[in-house]
A and B are shown apart, each in its own frame.
Chain A
């Protein structure tokens, strides 16, 4: 657990450096910007509760956990929005709350890290092949 404390501090300082280093560089101008592959938008409740929709980054979590942990042991179904997650279940230690409990990962008080999406987005895996086939981009 020590490593992560280090990491968080390092990240904090890097945050400042990001700003200094990244001005107008690398990924600067991009109109048709796209989210990371596998990002899931969860918005069954959020819009109605005046919350920003939740964005779940698969890439970030799969670096730390195998799919099995969430999809077999914790019982997340393979369906965006299909688990009917709400804060009550999270408080109770299910779904995201199995880890975001201040023990395995930072706790629920960090609303802004999960509720980070633009309002009014549709629940789903961003940019999945099947979605793009049904509504091909730019056409």
Chain B
């Protein structure tokens, strides 16, 4: 310590900081055992052994060994509280950890694979849906390039999905998930090969006036909400607030008029009216102070 070098220590902490950011951290770290923290922990573990989902699980099971462990855990918490009163913080902390370990191992024993199994089953169903979508997408995308190899790839994916479904039917959702994962990895890799580096543009083109009207109605609705959003982000000056509100009313009237015209099949006019309403709203959104590009 006598040769304290600011530069070296800077390097050291820089390295330490970078490492700390790069690696998730430490097992076995725990909060310090001091009266406040351990006191709080005693309260929390007290709740865990008296009014938690774990307690309901143990009490609902009628399992004698589990009930005995729970009783022991409760005693440990009481004794920890007593330790705390006489300042034996480390001893209290130890007992609390023991109580926690008892509850932890008992509920895990009781639930067996049930909790994990239910989670895996749910993940399996979500994954299955996604993988089927990817298979369909792959087939759609591959059709453009019209390759015969694609049909074979699709067949391979389908086979894997089939195997996964077999496993799932037998209740082996963990293995089913692994098979689905293999299918997924093939599908996404093949899709990437066909799409990598591309830019696809969704252009606007409306087949009928009604369609364009619907789009404009949505766009108009978005602008009303954007105005509200702008006002939730910014506080415009008092003098502007009145103008914002009167513009908003005006835009609402224009929209009402548009809806009337549309109801009478006058779509082109309705579109014009909606555009006026939308343009007015855009101007008003800008008045509120938010930056809108374009």
Interface residues of A (CB under 8 A from B): 1, 3-8, 10, 12, 45, 48-51, 63-65, 75, 86-89, 91-94, 99, 102-113, 115, 129, 132-133, 136-137, 139
Contact = CB atoms under 8 A, between A and B. Distances in A.
A105 B25 contact: yes
A7 B16 contact: yes
Interface string B32-64: 100001001101110110011110010000000
Contact size class for B? 35 or more
Contact of A8 (B25, B53, B108): B25
B31 A113 contact: yes
B228 interface: yes
Contacts of B229: 129, 133
A112 to B, nearest CB: 5
B221 to A, nearest CB: 13
A113 B37 CA distance: 10
B30 A107 contact: yes
Given A87-B54, A91-B107, A111-B40, A3 B22 contact: yes
B225 A133 contact: yes
Contacts of A89: 115, 119
B168 to A, nearest CB: 16
Contact of A51 (B23, B47, B54, B122): B47
A65 B22 CA distance: 10
Contacts of B201: none
B27 interface: yes
A103 B25 CA distance: 9
12 contacts: A3-B19, A4-B26, A6-B20, A10-B16, A48-B51, A50-B43, A64-B21, A64-B24, A86-B52, A112-B44, A133-B232, A136-B228
Contact of A4 (B23, B96, B108, B111): B23
